[in-house]
Amino acid sequence: MKIDSRKALKFYKDKINANNQYTLTLYVCAGTSCVSSKSVEIADRLKAEIDKKGLSVEMNVVKTGCFGFCGQGPIIEIEPDKVTYVQVTVDDVEDIVKTHLMNREIVERLTYDMTDEGDYEMAFYKKQKRIALRHCGAIDPESLEDAIAHGGYEALAYALYDLTPDEVIGIIKDSGLRGRGGGGFPTGLKWQFTKAVEDEEKYVICNADEGDPGAFMDRSICEGDPHAIIEAMAINGYATGAKNGLIYIRAEYTLATKRLLKALKDARDAGFLGNNVFGTDFSFDIELKAGAGAFVCGEETALIHSMEGLRGEPTVKPPFPSESGFRGKPSNVNNVETYANIPIILVKGAEWFNKIGTEKSKGTKVFALAGNVRNIGLVEVPMGTTFREIIYDIGGGIPDDIPFKGVQIGGPSGGVITEEYLDTPIDYDSLKEVGAMMGSGGMIIMDEKTDMVEIAKFYLDFTQDESCGKCTPCRIGTKRLHEMLEKLTNMEGSPEDLELLEELALNVQNTSLCGLGQSAPNPVLSTLRFFRNEYEAYANREKPHGYRVIEEECIGCTKCKRVCPVDAISGEVKKPHSIDQSICIECGACIEACPKGAIVYE
């Protein structure tokens, strides 16, 4: 049906809500991570069981987007009971139906393990503020009805009926929203630039080419709340005077693509896209363009060239896409997470958004928490939250209580933050000050055993592989940086190499053509800054870390020697033993075997 007025939207919403009167709703996460562990099958089985038991009138199963608690998936949330089941398998379905749905008792074994240090799950959500992710895990992303029931397209109606394009831009500007894709450019200003260029043909573009190999918030939003993106793009089109929208999405995101395509069709059928949106004289439609696997296409000029069917190579800015972008026309590129904030800002007002966050960074930011941390997943926190809060309060700290070493933020373009900065409030500017950057929001927690030179090498391997190869510093420079790091970790380096490494890293940063090249050396520069001793150890052809026997503590019991799988430990009975670093594979068997705690890792 067509919804051609504000009234119709309201009418429709009320009708849906009147129909949705269930006593129990089972939200089953159907984000990529949970789908990978068969959550769709679980949901289908639940539904079948409910039907079989004749409970379908009062109970409903909703396949939602990502809850964010990915490390514990598949996740089922039962409302209004406020019960969350984690790591559910298909075999658990029967138990859930019987125990929870029929006998109204909690299946204790499926709740999150709270044995030692308290309720991580509660903590996981307590400090979060879900704005961009507001509907992820709360609605069925494949249902337009569900989106409308949760306020979908009300912001668009408001913009079209009550606001001029300039007023829309004014609200976005006042909200203080900055681009969530990395650079943090003020969104309202960007919109204003595009609006200011006079042209019949303009484009608004959604950058869903999330390429940071450790960030997946954009995918989760596309999967969990596709209508929010569509609505926001239409608002952008109205504000900037564009009739055409394009979503550039990463090739690997099949589920997100499927859901976006469905949402686009539904939105078109309902009259939210196409000619005369909402019955007004504003016309707007969106086309989906699939990437084909190139990290550099996250850079906006490269992205545009890729959409034009070319190699995704960046070009010099200016001209900025706002003036000359897709097909040489003014183009407004925003990232998924940025868009996800737009509708709610319009509905709740600039001031509401403005109050969240720090002085210069407003609102929230989604981070993909991964690595050596208990709770892996997506977290959304107000700007200004500290690393400590994220890692320890939300993330539950490091498993096995191994000491913390660092956190890599911003993916291949970002840098490392150390213990002393754990209490830094996170925002765009504070991160820059400490040599990192917000980037896409990937946050990898590393424990003491992590080799920082290896980490830098990992990222350089990534960037040199993903470099488009157009400009010299990125094409050859990142390759040489990677080779220098290889040389170090192969124990073939020398102290002079460190100077050369640093000098080249700075030059690549200064001279590269696009953001990819300019930020590629960040992981090297920031690890050099905080962990220079590890580089120096390699330069002197020593391992920077490893297991060591504390001579004074060793009683010479030979237990460690006996368990070592590679015979790296030598020593006579009742005399202190020692570990040959060149043989040791760091399996940790010795540390467990030692009755005296005389072996340490440093």
Q: Restricting to residues 242-281, which ones interact with another protein according to CB under 8 A?
A: 251-253
Q: Is 400 exposed, middle or buried (0-12, 13-18, 19+ CB in 10 A)?
A: exposed
For residue 511, state whether it binds another protein (rule: CB under 8 A): yes
- Over the window 108 to 147, marking each residue x when it contacts another protein by CB under 8 A and - when it does not, the resulting string is ----------------------------------------
Residue pair 168/238 in contact by the 8 Å Cβ criterion: yes
| Alpha-helical runs (H) found in 410-551 | 428-433, 452-466, 472, 478-489, 495-511, 515-519, 522-530, 532-539
For residue 588, state whether it binds another protein (rule: CB under 8 A): no
Query: What is the DSSP code (8-state) at residue 101?
Result: I
List b or e across 432-461, with b for residues whose CB sees 16 or more CB atoms inside 10 angstroms: eebbbbbbbbbbbbbbeebbbbebbbbbbe
Applying CB under 8 A, which of residues 124, 216, 353, 428 lies at the interface with another protein? 216
**Residue 50 or 368 with smaller CB distance to another protein:** 368
CB-facing half-sphere around the CA of 427: CA atoms within 13 A: 19
For residue 291, state whether it binds another protein (rule: CB under 8 A): yes
Applying CB under 8 A, which of residues 28, 149, 444, 539 lies at the interface with another protein? 444
For residue 446, state whether it binds another protein (rule: CB under 8 A): yes
- Over the window 366 to 395, marking each residue x when it contacts another protein by CB under 8 A and - when it does not, the resulting string is --x-xxx---xx------------------
Q: Measured from the CB of residue 232, what is the shortest distance to another protein in angstroms?
A: 22
Applying CB under 8 A, which of residues 464, 519, 522, 527 lies at the interface with another protein? 464
Applying CB under 8 A, which of residues 118, 293, 328, 403 lies at the interface with another protein? 293
For residue 1, state whether it binds another protein (rule: CB under 8 A): no
**Residue 145 or 451 with smaller CB distance to another protein:** 451
Applying CB under 8 A, which of residues 110, 286, 379, 513 lies at the interface with another protein? 513
Applying CB under 8 A, which of residues 408, 413, 430, 519 lies at the interface with another protein? 408
Per CB under 8 A, contacts with another protein among 474-503 are: 475-480, 483, 500, 503
Q: Measured from the CB of residue 183, what is the shortest distance to another protein in angstroms?
A: 14
- What distance in Å separates the CA atoms of residue 442 and residue 477, rounded to the nearest whole number? 24
Render 289-343 in DSSP notation, one character per residue.
EE--S-GGGGSHHHHHHHHTTS------SSSPTTTS-GGGS-EEEEEHHHHHHHH
How wide is the angle at C-alpha 351 spanned by C-alphas 348 and 355, nearest 5°? 110
Token pair of 598, please? 């005389």
Q: Measured from the CB of residue 38, what is the shortest distance to another protein in angstroms?
A: 9
For residue 556, state whether it binds another protein (rule: CB under 8 A): no
Which amino acid is it at 473? P
Q: 570 has which bridge partners?
A: 578
Which amino acid is it at 499? E
Helix, strand, coil content of the chain in percent (nearest 5): 45, 15, 40
**Residue 140 or 223 with smaller CB distance to another protein:** 223
Q: Which stretch binds another protein (CB under 8 A): 97-105, 192-200, 288-296, 571-579?
A: 288-296
Residue pair 223/259 in contact by the 8 Å Cβ criterion: yes
Q: Measured from the CB of residue 507, what is the shortest distance to another protein in angstroms?
A: 4
Applying CB under 8 A, which of residues 510, 540, 570, 582 lies at the interface with another protein? 510
Q: What is the dihedral of CA 268, 274, 279, 282, to 10 degrees?
A: 140
- Over the window 6 to 35, marking each residue x when it contacts another protein by CB under 8 A and - when it does not, the resulting string is --------------------------xx--
Render 389-401 in DSSP notation, one character per residue.
IIIIIIS---GGG
For residue 348, state whether it binds another protein (rule: CB under 8 A): no
Q: Measured from the CB of residue 35, what is the shortest distance to another protein in angstroms?
A: 8
Q: Strands 442-447 and 364-371, how do they pair? A: parallel
Per CB under 8 A, contacts with another protein among 308-327 are: 308-312, 315-316, 318, 327
- Over the window 143 to 172, marking each residue x when it contacts another protein by CB under 8 A and - when it does not, the resulting string is ------------------------------
Q: Strands 24-29 and 76-79, how do they pair? A: antiparallel
Q: Measured from the CB of residue 146, what is the shortest distance to another protein in angstroms?
A: 23
Token pair of 212, please? 């940071």
Query: Beta-strand (E) ranges in 193-310?
Result: 203-208, 244-249, 285-290
Query: What is the DSSP code (8-state) at residue 473?
Result: I
- What distance in Å separates the CA atoms of residue 113 and residue 121, rounded to the nearest whole number? 9
**Residue 68 or 152 with smaller CB distance to another protein:** 68
Q: Measured from the CB of residue 376, what is the shortest distance to another protein in angstroms?
A: 5
For residue 71, state whether it binds another protein (rule: CB under 8 A): yes
**Residue 155 or 294 with smaller CB distance to another protein:** 294
For residue 307, state whether it binds another protein (rule: CB under 8 A): yes
- What distance in Å separates the CA atoms of residue 48 and residue 62, rounded to the nearest whole number? 13
Q: Measured from the CB of residue 170, what is the shortest distance to another protein in angstroms?
A: 27
For residue 589, state whether it binds another protein (rule: CB under 8 A): no
Query: Beta-strand (E) ranges in 341-421?
Result: 364-371, 377-382, 404-409, 415-418
Q: Which stretch binds another protein (CB under 8 A): 173-181, 227-235, 306-314, 594-602?
A: 306-314
